[in-house]
Structure formats: C-alpha cells, structure tokens
Amino acid sequence: MIRATTLGCAHGGRQVLQDVNLSLRPGEIAGLLGPNGSGKTTLISTLAGILPPVAGRVEHGADLCDVHAMTSRERAQRIACVPQRAETTFALRCSSVVLMGRWAYQTGWWGGNDSKDRGVARACMRQAGVEALWDRPVDQISGGELQRVLFARALAQEAGTLLLDEPTASMDLAGTVVLFDLVRELTLEGASALIAVHDINLAALYCDHLYFLKDGRVAAHGCTQDVFNEETLSHIFGTRVMVGPHPGTGVPQAHFVPGSTTCAVARDAGIR
C-alpha cells in the first residue's frame, strides 16, 4: 500500500498541491484525474520519491516506511514509476532499457545482469507485447512502442506498487486495452496501481477509486460508481457533462456537451 498524509507538493520552486490525503491499497487501481496543470505529474513524482514533499509524508508497505527516507534501491524494489515523458538521447536497445528495471536486485561490485535478469526482462517485454523489439534501438521505435517498453521496465522491477503517468498517451486503442488489462491482472494478484490519465471514460472502466485534482487540492475522491457523476465532472473540468451507463459493462461513462465550457458561456454573454 501507499499512503500520503497532508502532503504538500512543489515543482520548480512553486507549490502545486497542498493537504493531499491519498491511500492506495493492494488489489486496487486508482485513477488520478484533473485538468492540465492540476498537479498530476507532480503528485506522482512525489509519491514515487522523485520529488521531495514540502509538507506531509508518504508511507509505503505494511511497515509504513517513509518513502523519502528509503534508499533508491529500496524504493525501486517497492515502487515502479512510468513517467509521462522519457528521454531517448542514447540509442540503447529496448532490452537494455527494460533491464534497467533489474538494477535494484544486482549484487557484487560490478553488478551486471545475469541470466535470471534477462529472463525476467524478456518475460516482461512479452507481457507488454514488445518482445519483438528486444534488439531494436529505442530511437527507431514509435512513441507508443516506447511507452510499452517503459511499462515493461516497470514490470521488471517486480514492485508491488505501480505509479503510471499518462502511460497510454501515445498508444493506439489496442495497446491501451492491453496495458490496462495487464494492470488489472497485476492488481488481481495483489499489486496496487495509481494511474494519471486524461481519458476519464477509460479511468471509469478500469479504476476502482478516483481522485480529482483542482485548484491545488484533491477536490473529490471516492469509489468510481459514487464520484463519477455529472456534478463532479462538470465542476472539475468546467464544462457540462452528461453521464450514462456503458452499453456493455454498465460502468458510468461521460459525454461532453459542445459549446458548454465556461469560455463558451462567457463568449455568449459578451464577456471578453
């Protein structure tokens, strides 16, 4: 599990979030939603131990260990993070990128990857649907393929908690379904996952719990069936939203109403 208590988060010297309380339990997928610039990436980076908090505390595991007091190796064995953007300056092979997920388990003076590490990496690439890219340089693959390679790297960490920041932003529909289905399988085996995502209907389909960020705070949270409603969505995103059941699953889905944003309302009222 991972738990944040009265957490304050900053980026670039500016406080972005305050008084964030969040709990992610084993077996659960939680969605992190909100407008652009609401702090989703900053929150995930703070939960992962990449950014220090300006207030509060992030705890992980049954021992409630302070994430920011852990060594990098300890964090990597507990928490796997997939960033929204990744630098691909060096033309590493995809397999080398995935093997980076094994460094926390390397021993000895020189470290290095043994046959077990390579076996884990190959299995994770197979799960993510990118085993065929084993020898391909990362600068010769598409953005969607790179995201799946980075997801395979996170799987290779064998951590119990996944923090995913827009993991399907460059993926096609099939790749998106594969990744979210795989995350669901992992949580059924006891893992936990927090996913920042712009597609709110995708979040409703897969997430057990939703957190909405707005104006520097958690503006709403709860079970998907309870909080995914017209009032909450319209408030968070500043546009009229209608909610109805998915025809196949019955899960609530959102439908935006054209011309109903606050900008459109102001324009119609003659406000500039």
Look over the chain and give the mean of its residue pLDDT values, rounded to a whole number: 91
Higher model confidence: residue 112 or residue 171? 171
Which CA distances in Å does 203 have to 143, 161, 166, 208, 265? 21, 18, 11, 9, 28
Q: What whole-number distance in Å separates Cα of residue 172 and Cα of residue 15?
A: 34
Residue ranges of domains in the chain, CATH in brackets:
2-223 (3.40.50.300), 229-272 (no CATH)
Contacts of 272 by beta carbon, 8 Å cutoff, 6+ apart:
266
Q: Decide: 21 and 5 in contact? Cβ < 8 Å.
A: yes
- 271 has a pLDDT exceeding 70: no
Q: What whole-number distance in Å separates Cα of residue 11 and Cα of residue 16?
A: 7
- 25 has a pLDDT exceeding 90: yes
Tell me the pLDDT tens digit for each residue of 52-89.
999 999 999 999 999 999 999 999 999 999 988 776 65
Q: Decide: 229 and 243 in contact? Cβ < 8 Å.
A: yes
Considering only 37-46, 107-116, 244-253, which range has the smallest mean pLDDT?
A: 107-116
Contacts of 271 by beta carbon, 8 Å cutoff, 6+ apart:
none
Which CA distances in Å does 213 have to 17, 31, 86, 185? 9, 11, 24, 27
Q: pTM higher than 0.85, yes or no?
A: yes
